[in-house]
A and B are shown apart, each in its own frame.
Chain A
C-alpha cells in the first residue's frame, strides 16, 4: 500500500511564531488520519501546506506522489479541500457555485452542470440548488462546501475541522458523508478538536500542540494512553463530594478532576467501571443527579499526554497539587 500523503519535518514560521516545528505525517491510500489539537496548534497550517496554499519554510511534503511545492498545480488536480470556514460564494446559487468550480477544473459547461446536479442530489441540496448560498443554514453551507471539494473526484481530501460549529444532528450527517467518501476509497486527512470525532472516523490519530506532534497512535491505542473513557458524577448533595471522591479514587485510574464545583470526573479503563461505581454509590447511599461515561475532552487528552492543561491558565493550588500527584502516579506506572 502506497502513502497518499507523506510529510517530513514540516516547518512554518509566521513572523516570530513557529506555527509548525518539524511535523511528520503519513497517510496510506484509502485511510483516514485524524489530526487532533486545540486552536493554534498548527493543524490548519499543516493542511494549508499539504493543499499547496502555503509554502513550508522547511521539510518536504508529497501528496499523491507529487511534491506540494514543485508540482503544486499537479497536486491540485488530485485534492479536494474543505476549510474551517465554508468557502463558497454567498452571492451565487448552489448550482452556480458548483458549475463554476467544475468549469475551472476543466469540465465543459454541460459536464459541469451534470456533475453539479449529481453532487447536489448526493448532498441533499437539490431543493436549495437555485437559492443563493447566503440563504443556506450552517449545515447546508458546509454540505455545499464539501460537495464543491468533490467535483473533481479527488483521491485525497483535506477536511479542516469539518464539523466545528455544527449541532450534533448536522455533525452526524457530515460524519456519514465522510464515511461514504472512505467507502469510495478516498484518502482523508481530517483535523478536529474532538477526540470523539477522530475516534469515530480515523484509522490513526496524530495529536499536535504548538506545532509539534505529541502523540501518534490508533484510536484504541490513544484512548488507552489517555485513560479510556471518563466517568462523571454529580452528587445531589454537595456535602457528599468527599465521599464520592474517595470512591472514584478507588475505581478510577487517577485522582479525580473537579471541572465544576459540584462535579467530579475521572478516567476509567473499561466500561464496567460504570456498573461498579453505580453499585458502590448505592451501597454508600449517595444519591446523584448525573452519572455519565464519555470519551475524554481535548483538555483531558492534553492533560494526560503532557501533564499540562492545554491552555496556560492560572491554576489554583488544588489543581497544582493534583497535577503533581498525577505526574507521580504516571511516573510510577511507567516505571
Chain B
C-alpha cells in the first residue's frame, strides 16, 4: 500500500507543478503575502519593517500552510468528478491508496511552501536566533498540524457536490481561523471579545509555537513555547480524532 500511495503521491506532485494555480499557491503567494504585510503594514503595526518581519513571517507560514492543506478536498472532489477515481478503483490497490497518496503529495507541497517562505524571509532580513533543531521542530509541527487539518478538507471534498463548493466552504473555515488569531497583530491589541476567540483558536497556538521556535519570542498569549507546542499537539489529536473517522467514512461511502 505504501508503494501505491507513493506512486499516487508522485502523480499529485506532477499535477501541482503542471497546474500553475496550485504551484503559485505554494511559491508566489507566500512571497506576495510577506511583501504586502512586511513592507506595507509593517511600519504601521510594529514601527519598523525589520521588527515586523520577525513577528509576521511565522504567521505567514502558518496561513499559507492552512490554505494549502485545504486544497486536498478540492483535488479529490475533482478527481471523482472526472472519473479518474473509477480507474483507480478498478485496479487491485487498497481503496485508501489514492487518499494517502494525496496526503503524501500535500506534504511535498507544504515543504515547498515552507522552504520558499523561509528563504525569502531570510533575504528580506528575517533572522534565526534559535538553534537549528528548533527550526526543524517548527517545520515538523506545522506539517503535523496541516496533515491533521486536511481531514476537514477531505470530509468537505467528499460531501460537497462540486469542487467550487469545496473551495467556498473551505474558505469559510480558514478565514476565521487564520485572521481571528495573532497572525498579523499582537492579540493584546484586539477587542476583548475577539481576544476570547483568539485565545481558544488552535491556530493562535500554532502561530505562537512557530514564533517561539523560529524567533525565540516567549509568546504574547500566556504560555511558554513548550506549553504552546503541547496545545498544538492536543488540537492535532482532537482534529484527527474527530475528522479522520468522519473523512474516511465519507471517502469509503463515495469510493
Do A83 and B86 touch (CB < 8 A)? yes
Task: Tell me what chain B mostly uses at the interface: helix, strand, loop, or mixed.
Answer: helix
Q: Is A24 an interface residue (CB 8 A)?
A: no
Q: Please count how many residues in chain A sit with their CB below 8 Å of the partner chain's CB atoms.
A: 28
Do B11 and A92 touch (CB < 8 A)? yes
Distance in Å from the Cβ of A94 to the closest Cβ of chain B?
13
Encode contact with A along B133-152: 1 for CB under 8 Å, 0 otherwise: 00000000000000000000
Q: Is B2 an interface residue (CB 8 A)?
A: no
Do B91 and A104 touch (CB < 8 A)? yes
Bound together, the chains give a CA A73 to CA B10 distance in angstroms of: 23
Q: Is B88 an interface residue (CB 8 A)?
A: yes
Do B14 and A91 touch (CB < 8 A)? yes
Ordered nearest first, which 6 A-B pairs have the shortest CB separation?
A: A87-B83, A76-B92, A87-B87, A81-B90, A91-B15, A91-B18
Encode contact with B along A67-97: 1 for CB under 8 Å, 0 otherwise: 0000001101101110101111111100010
Bound together, the chains give a CA A89 to CA B82 distance in angstroms of: 8
Q: Is B161 an interface residue (CB 8 A)?
A: no
Q: Is A286 an interface residue (CB 8 A)?
A: no
Bound together, the chains give a CA A91 to CA B4 distance in angstroms of: 19
The listed residue (A96, A104, A132) touching B88 by CB distance below 8 A is A104
User: Could you give 30 example pairs across A and B, Cβ below 8 Å?
Assistant: A52-B89, A53-B90, A73-B92, A80-B90, A81-B90, A83-B83, A83-B87, A86-B83, A87-B82, A87-B83, A87-B84, A87-B87, A88-B84, A88-B87, A89-B84, A91-B14, A91-B15, A91-B19, A92-B11, A92-B14, A100-B7, A100-B11, A103-B3, A103-B7, A104-B4, A104-B8, A104-B88, A105-B91, A105-B92, A132-B18
**Known contacts A76-B92, A100-B7, A87 near B15 by CB under 8 Å:** no
Q: How large is the interface on B (under 10, 10 to 19, 20 to 34, 35 or more residues)?
A: 20 to 34
Encode contact with B along A29-54: 1 for CB under 8 Å, 0 otherwise: 00000000000000000000001110
Within 75-132 of A, Cβ neighbours of B (below 8 Å) are at 76-77, 79-81, 83, 85-92, 96, 100-101, 103-106, 132
Chain B, residue nearest A75 (CB): B92
Known contacts A53-B86, A100-B8, A148-B87; 11 additional CB pairs below 8 A are: A53-B90, A76-B90, A77-B92, A87-B85, A89-B84, A91-B19, A92-B14, A92-B18, A96-B11, A96-B14, A104-B88
Q: Which residues of B lie under 8 Å from residue A106 when comparing CB positions?
A: 92
Do B15 and A89 touch (CB < 8 A)? yes
